[in-house]
Structure 1
C-alpha cells in the first residue's frame, strides 16, 4: 500500500469538507487500526513465502534436486507451513487469529482514548466474529474492535466515581469480562456470518472483473483517489481485507498491487526529470528516490495537481500494471507497506516475481511515455510547484514531511503558523498543566494572545494541534498521537529555555495581537482543593519515594483519594520524573488511577533539607489528585509562583500553612 507521511503542522489555510473529508477521516480511522500492525502482516507474509509448500525453501530445494516432501524439510518446514492441511502450522493461525485480534485490539483501544480496557474488550468481541466466520475476519475486526472499545467506554462512564472504595478492581474486571462475553456472542451470531457473506460477494465481484479483463479499469478510480488522499479508505477498508482473504485461499492476491504499485508515480517523475522545467525538473530526481525506494507516493501528487491533465498518465500507467499482473497471474502474499519496490519484492512469491516486476516496469514506462508527450505539447507556463504543494496539503489537511524535497524546504510559503499549542504529559493533570501555565504567560507577555495553550494527557491527544510540548521521555509517544504537529521536548517544566525558543518561533510566524489569553491563570479556585490540613512545613522524608508517600498520605487523610492512589503516584514516577525544576516536584497518579480519586485536591510539603529527586533537589513537593479540571487554575498559580524568585523565598520562609495560602494568592478554601 502506498504510504503518506506528515510532519509538524497543519497547512496554512487548509480547509476540507463535504464527502471527501468524511471519506478521508474514515480512511484515516481504518489505517490507524491496520498500520500499527503492518509488522505482523509482514511477518506472516515472510513466513508464508518461506515455509508453505510452494514457498522459497521448497522451490530452492526442488531446484537442487531435493524432494521437499521427504525427511527433515517436511518435518520442520512442512510443519511450519502446514503442508498436510491439518491447520497445525503457523501460517493458518496467524492469519485466522493473530492478525484480526491485533486489529480488533488496536481499534478498541483507539475508541477508548488509548485505554487498554477498550483494547481488551475489542479483542474479545473480535474473537467472537472470528469463531463465527469462514474467512479471515479483518473486516469483522474493524467493526467489532471499535464497537467493543466504544461501548466499554460508555458503560464505564455510567458508574464512573460511583464505585465504593475497594471494589474498583472487582467492578472493572467483571464489567469488561461480562460485556466482552456479550459482544463475543454477538460477533459469533451476527458479525461473523455477515462479514463472511460480504467477503464472498466482494470476492465474486473481483473474480468477475478479472475473468472479464475489467480489473484494469479500477485504476480510473484508484489513481485519482490517491491524489485526493482517499487511498487509506480504499486500501484499508477494501483492498487489504479482500486481498488477505484471497491470499489465504490462493497464496497471493493481485489486490495488494492495485494501489501500491510504485510504477505509475515513477514514470510520471521520470517524465518531469527528462522534459520538465524549472523547480519541477530539478526536484524530480530526489522525488524519485522518496517515491520508488521510500514508498511515499504523495511526493508526486503536487506534480499532477500542478498540471491536472497528467492524471491521464498515472491512470494509464496503473491500468498497464494491473493488466500485466492479470496476464501473468501474479500478485503479492501480503500488503506492501510502504509502497516501495523493496516492500513489493519482499511480499512477492517466487512464482510471481517476474510478473510483478514487469508490472512495475511496464506501468512506469507507459506513465512516463504519456506524461512526456503531454509535457512536450504543453504550451502553458511552467506551473507553480510550491502552490501545487500547498494545495495538496490543503486537501490533506496536514503538512507533508516530504514536501520540502520539492521546494527546497520552504514550500514556497510563509513558515508554518502556530495557533494551538498543547502541553502533554502522561496523566494530563499535573506537570502538563503547570508547564502550560508557564508557557502561556510567556506567550501572552510577547503579545501573542491569539495562540491557545492547553494541557492534555497523551492518550487524549488528537492530531489537530500545531505544536506539542512534552517531557523528553514522552515525546515519542506524543509523536504517534500527533504526527502532523511540531514537537518540542523539555526536561525542565518550570524554566526550560525551549519556551523562549517557542516564543521566538511565534514572533517569526504570527503577528502579535495583544489579545487576552486563556483565563485559567486568573481563575479562583473554590472548595477545599488545598486546605491548611494538607500543608506540611518541615517534611520528614529523606528520599524521593518517602516524599511521594508523604504527599500522597496527605491526600488520603483529606479524603480526596483512595489509598491505592499513592501506589499509582509511584508508578507514574517510574515512567517519567515529575520534577519540574526550580526545586519543585509535583507527584501525581497515572491516568488509569483516576477512578481512585474521590475529589480534586492538592497537598503541599516543604523540606528544610531538599530531597534528592533523581539527582535534582526538591525543596517543595506538591501532591496532585485531579478528578476534573478545577485544579488547573491552582496549578497555574503555583507555576506562576515558582517562576518568581521572591514568591519562592516567601514560601521558603513561611511559618504557617496560612502564610503558604497567602503566597498562593487567589486561592479560597
Structure 2
C-alpha cells in the first residue's frame, strides 16, 4: 500500500529531474562544442591584457601604446581594439547561437540563429551569452516552422530565391526583435542573477552553493546550473575583473579526487580496486562522471562532497582567486591553464583543501560502514546510466570489471515488438562481431515480453532498459539511442575481446533461440523481393509530419493486404513508447507486440521523402513500414541494415527512380 501511494510522487520527481536534465543537456550542447574558443580566448587574455603575462606579471610594463602586444590585448579595454574584446563580445556568443540554431535546423537554422543573436549582442553592453542561448535556438526553430509552410509548394527553379530571401528577411526581423525587445529582458535577467551572486559573495555565503551543485552533479543536473547560469555570469565577471570564482564552483576536481582516494584507502572489493584508475580519469582527464557510481552506491557520501566543495569555494573566496575562462573538461590541467595570474596560490590550495576534506570525511564514513558488505558498483553504474538516459563510456569500465568472468556467447536485442528495431540492431552488431572473428557469438532479436534470464548480454533502447533488467537480471545490459550506428557496439566487441567468446556451446543452453535471424551467408539469407512489391514503394512521400508518415507507410501495408487498419493504429501506439527512428535518416514504424494478430501476411512498405520529414528530434528521409507474421522479413531487414551503413548505397536509394531500383540496391547488399 505504501509503495502504491509513493509511486506517483516518485514518478513526478523523476519527471522533473529528467526535464531539468534535458534542459541542462540542451544548454550544454550549445556551449561544449565551442569550449575550444573559450580556451583560446582565455589564453589570449592571460597573455596580452594589461595585467597579463606579457604586459604585467613577469614582464616590465615598458611597451609602447602602439606595440604589437598592446594591439592584440587592447591594453585591457575589452570594448576597444585588439583581439580580446571582439572575441568575447561577438565571436563566442555568435558561435553559441549558431550551434543552438544548428541543433534545431541544421546549417540553415544555424545561420538564422546567428543573425538573430547579433541583434541581442549589439543591443547591450555586456557579453550576451544568455541572449545567444535564446535567440540561436529560436532562430533555428522558427525558420524550420516557416519553411514547413511552403514545403513542396515552391515552383521548380525558384527554390534558391525563396530559401535565401526567406532566411534573410526572417533573420533580419529576429535581429530587430533581439535588439529592441530581447536585449533589455536578458540584461535585466543577467543583472538580477549577478546581484544575487554578489549578495552571496558580500555575505560570505557563496560556499553554500555546494549544497546544490554537488548533488546536482551526481544527478546530471549540473549542466543546467553550470552552462545556463555560471558560465554566462562568470564570463561577464571575467570581462570586468579579469577572472571569476564562478568558473570554479562546479569544475573544481578536488572533491571528486578526495572521494576516490577515500575508496582507494578505506573501500573494499571492486570499489577499492577500481578507484586508483578512476582517480586518473577524473583528476587528469577531467571526467567527473567516473565517480558518480561510487556516490550512488553509498549515497550518504554526498555529505563529504558537499563539505569538500564548500571548503574549495571558501578557500577561493578567501584568496580572491578565480579563472579567466571556463575549464572544460574539469581537469586539473584545464583549471591551471585558465587560472588568473594572481590566483595560482588560491586555486591550488582550493583543490588541495577540498580534496583533503572530502577524503577525511568519506574515509571516516567508509570505515564505519565496512562491516555492511561490499559496494555493488555495477548496480550503481547501471543506476547512473539510467539517470543519465544514455550509455556512459566511463561507467562501462566499472561495469566490465564487475561482470562475470565467463565469456559472452549469447546476445539478444530486445524491443517492444521484436520485429523491427531489434532486428536491425542485431544485424549491425552481428556483422561487427563476425568481422572481429567471434563466430561462436550469437546475436538474436526478441520482444521484451519474451525475454528470459538466459542471456549473457542484452541490448535495448535506453527507454526500455529497466524493463529488460526485470526479465534478464543476470545479464550485462547495454542501452543505446541509435540502433543503426551506436558507439556502444564497438564497446561490446571490445568487451567480447577482453572476456572471450568461449568457442563452444553455451553452458545454459546450446539450442538456438527461436527468433534468431539466419546467419549471414547461408541460403536462408537471400533477399525476398516479394516482401517489397511495386505497389508498396513510394519514391516521393506526401506526408509532412511524423504521424502522417506513419499513416502513409501503414496504409500501403493495408492496401497490399498485409495488415488490417487497426494495425496502423498500433503503429502509432508503438511510436509513443519508443521511437522507431534508427539513425542515418531511416525510420521503421511497426505495430506493437499485442497487434500481431492484425497481421495477415508478412510484407514491407517503402516511402522516400526527398526533403525529409521531422521524426521527433531527428529527420527521416526513408520510412519503411513493417508487418511480420514470423521471421520472413528478417533477411530483408538485414539487407536494409547493411545498406544504411553504406553511404554510397544510401545515395543510390536517394537517386532511385523506380521500385525495381530500390530492390536492386537492397539485393546488392551483402547480408
Alignment CA distance shift 1:175-1:398 (3 Å)? same
CA distance in 2, matches of 1:526, 1:453: 33
SS for the counterpart of 1:175 is helix
CA distance in 1, matches of 2:51, 2:443: 68
Deviation of 1:236 (Å): 0.9
Query: 2:58 aligned with 1:67, yes or no?
Result: no
Query: 2:315 aligned with 1:318, yes or no?
Result: no
- Partner residue of 1:514? 515
SS for the counterpart of 2:169 is helix
What TM-score results when the alignment is normalised by the length of structure 2? 0.66
Matches within 5 A, 1:369-408: 369-378=360-369, 379-408=371-400
RMSD of the TM alignment (CA)? Answer: 4.4
- Partner residue of 1:641? 667
Query: 2:249 aligned with 1:255, yes or no?
Result: no
Q: 1:51 aligned to 42, 48, 51, which one?
A: 48
Q: Aligned residue pairs: how many?
A: 497
Alignment CA distance shift 1:589-1:250 (3 Å)? same
Check whether the contact 1:96–1:130 (CA below 8 A) recurs between aligned residues.
yes
- Partner residue of 2:143? 152
Deviation of 1:146 (Å): 0.2
The Cα offsets for residues 501-521 of structure 1, whole Å up to 9 and x where unpaired, read as: xxx99x99x994639999998
- Partner residue of 1:103? 96
Deviation of 1:365 (Å): 0.5
The Cα offsets for residues 463-503 of structure 1, whole Å up to 9 and x where unpaired, read as: 99455546xxxxxxxxxxx66675899xxxxxxxxxxxxxx
Check whether the contact 1:448–1:513 (CA below 8 A) recurs between aligned residues.
no
CA distance in 2, matches of 1:370, 1:412: 33
Alignment CA distance shift 1:228-1:513 (3 Å)? farther
CA distance in 1, matches of 2:489, 2:27: 21
CA distance in 2, matches of 1:644, 1:372: 57
Alignment CA distance shift 1:519-1:34 (3 Å)? farther
CA distance in 2, matches of 1:145, 1:230: 22
CA distance in 1, matches of 2:425, 2:321: 55
SS for the counterpart of 1:350 is coil
The Cα offsets for residues 141-192 of structure 1, whole Å up to 9 and x where unpaired, read as: 1100000000101111111111111111100000000000000001111111
Query: 2:533 aligned with 1:524, yes or no?
Result: yes
- Partner residue of 1:244? 235
SS for the counterpart of 1:53 is coil
Matches within 5 A, 1:116-265: 116-265=107-256
Check whether the contact 1:108–1:145 (CA below 8 A) recurs between aligned residues.
yes
Matches within 5 A, 1:353-502: 353-378=344-369, 379-409=371-401, 418-419=413-414, 448=445, 450=447, 465-466=480-481, 469=484
Q: 1:296 aligned to 277, 283, 287, which one?
A: 287
CA distance in 2, matches of 1:361, 1:592: 53
- Partner residue of 2:617? none
Unaligned runs of 5+ in 1: 1-13, 422-434, 455-462, 471-481, 490-503, 531-575, 577-587, 601-617, 646-669
- Partner residue of 1:22? 19
Check whether the contact 1:122–1:144 (CA below 8 A) recurs between aligned residues.
yes
Deviation of 1:50 (Å): 0.6
Deviation of 1:522 (Å): 2.5
Q: 1:34 aligned to 31, 36, 53, which one?
A: 31
Matches within 5 A, 1:625-664: 625=655, 637-642=663-668
- Partner residue of 2:564? none
Check whether the contact 2:99–2:110 (CA below 8 A) recurs between aligned residues.
yes
SS for the counterpart of 1:294 is coil
Deviation of 1:258 (Å): 0.4
CA distance in 2, matches of 1:622, 1:377: 65
Deviation of 1:420 (Å): 6.9
Query: 2:80 aligned with 1:87, yes or no?
Result: yes
Check whether the contact 1:130–1:136 (CA below 8 A) recurs between aligned residues.
yes
CA distance in 2, matches of 1:404, 1:306: 16
Alignment CA distance shift 1:360-1:635 (3 Å)? farther
CA distance in 2, matches of 1:59, 1:163: 61
Alignment CA distance shift 1:78-1:366 (3 Å)? same
What TM-score results when the alignment is normalised by the length of structure 1? 0.66
